[in-house]
Amino acid sequence: MKDKKELADQAGALALKLEIEHGCCPQCVLAAVQDTVGLISDETIKASHGLSGGGGLSGVGLCGSLVGGILALGAKRGRDREKFAKGKFIGNFSKANELSLEFKEKFGGLTCQELQQQFTGKTYDMWKPEEYKEFTDNRGDQCARTAEFVTRWVVEKL
């Protein structure tokens, strides 16, 4: 059996590859977690699709990679529906916050637009085809690197 670090490295590399080849960072994070440690359902991967690009490609919400990581943490540590009345389950919030803080430290922001600014020096309206293409051309593999980082971090903590 692989140790956690080796498994995390494998998962991170897979997330990087998936994001470069297919895009949609939250799905790539979740698929890489699913393929290496299980835990994530196909329904969760499907449901995360609209969370890419700050949510609906709006840019204003959290980076999709970060959201995918928070969903993966929640799949393991989150509160089940039948436990709503038993408290907030703050331990899951704590891990999600820890991931967010480390992500912000590494990448300089939390939202898609903050990362666009960090990666390229400007923000984009991803609903304008020419701006979407410009962002895609200018970002290099940096969005994929967010998926790699988040996936590695999550697998090490699960």
pLDDT digits (tens, 9 = 90+) for 26-77: 999 999 999 999 999 999 999 999 999 999 999 999 999 999 999 999 999 9
pLDDT of 1 reads: 59
> Does residue 36 form part of some domain?
yes
Domain encompassing residue 11: 4-52+64-109+142-157
Domain count, the chain: 1
Query: Is residue 137 situated within a structural domain?
Result: no
Please report whether residue 117 resides in a domain: no
From residue 150, give the alpha-carbon distance in Å to each of 32, 34, 132, 145, 154: 11, 14, 23, 9, 6
116 domain residue, yes or no: no
Interval 4-32: pLDDT, tens: 999 999 999 999 999 999 999 999 999 99
The reply to whether the predicted model has a pTM over 0.85 is: yes
Residue 15 lies in a domain: yes
25 within some domain: yes
- Return the residue matching tokens 């699960």: 158
Alpha carbons 133 and 21: distance in angstroms, whole number: 16
pLDDT tens for each residue of 79-134: 898 988 888 778 889 999 999 999 999 999 999 999 999 999 999 999 999 999 99
User: How many other C-beta atoms can be found within 10 angstroms of the C-beta atom of residue 80?
Assistant: 8
The packing angle between helices 4-22 and 25-37, to 10°, is 140
Residue 56, CA distances (Å) to 37, 60, 144, 155 in order: 28, 9, 18, 26
